Amino acid sequence: MRLAYPHLTDMWEMGPTAAPYDMMHLILPNVVPHMWRLFAGLKLVNRHNDEAYIIPKSTVALMGRELRASRPTVPLAQARSLHNIDVHHKNFKAVDWLHFVLCTGEVLLSGRIPGEFYDIFMALCRACRLVFRPRGVSETEIMANDKDIKSFVTNYYAKIYRESIERLPLCLSTFATLLDVFPLLRAGGPAWFFWPFPMERKIGALGKLIRSHSKPHGSLEENLRRQCNSELVSNFGETYLSTEWTTTTGNP
């Protein structure tokens, strides 16, 4: 490919830091659900259901009920991610898979899959704890993260894909892409620096500002301008004219 696209030489040399991957989309809606489908027997290769890592259907159903039953024991914000994974896994969002890989997965899978496959999953869990942590990462932590990711990728290809032609559907590029997490953290900082959660929330709020179906663009522009002006005035008044703000609005 380097020979076929010589004009991209500079991009090749820069590597993945030229266009950072969004860790949320790379790991949560791709890698983590794939691991669940493997363990739950939802992704079979040539209809073989005798793989050592596949959990019996009765146990998968039990895990789903256990997850669902735990909802009353945690705050509401977390309970939203404790759906019955056996029934609702197709509807899981990124935040639900985040909760699974950071909290519930290691408990549900413990003792239910062979130790060598559980260790593969735990390497991913440890890596995610650093990747998705909402603060900075030290050099030591980046090195530990790189070690866990390399362990996860290496053992996945060796013990699950097994370099077999018939198992080619398990040879996914997203898993190899995880090896770029280390240079991305070194070059770009914590993963939350370049993930799209804030932009997705903003885009989701824009639809409510469209009040006209015949002129949606004009309506959005006008209402967005009005909202920004309102926020600027409110912020300025509360910050620099607190006494006048309280007198006028009746609110401190």
Average pLDDT, the chain: 88
> Is the pLDDT confidence value at 147 over 90?
yes
Specify the pLDDT at position 122: 97
Reported as a pLDDT band with limits 50, 70 and 90, residue 16 is low
Q: What residues contact residue 176 under an 8 Å CB cut-off, 6+ apart?
A: 153
**In the predicted structure, residue 178 carries a pLDDT above the cut 70:** yes
pLDDT value for 63: 94
Residue bearing the bigger pLDDT, 244 or 124? 124
Long-range contact set of residues 36-45: C-beta below 8 Å, sequence gap at least 24: 36/85, 36/89, 36/100, 36/105, 37/89, 38/160, 38/170, 39/109, 39/113, 39/117, 39/121, 40/86, 40/89, 42/89, 43/169, 43/170, 45/166, 45/167, 45/169, 45/170
Residue, of 202 and 52, whose pLDDT is higher: 52
pLDDT number for residue 186: 82
Q: Coil, helix or strand for 210?
A: coil
Residue-wise pLDDT tens digits, 23-54: 888 899 999 999 999 999 999 888 888 899 99
Domain ranges of the chain: 6-193, 197-249
Mean pLDDT of 227-248: 89
Query: 3-class secondary structure for 142-178?
Result: HHHHHHHHHHHHHHHHHHHHCCCHHHHHHCCHHHHHH
Residue 161 above 90 pLDDT?
A: yes
Q: Examine the pLDDT at 17 and tell me if it is beyond 70.
A: no
Percent of the chain's residues with pLDDT above 70 = 98
Classify burial at 42, counting beta carbons within 10 Å of its beta carbon; exposed 0-12, middle 13-18, buried 19 or more: middle
> Which residue type does 109 have?
L
Q: Which three-class secondary structure state does DSSP give residue 51?
A: coil
Model pLDDT, residue 90: 92
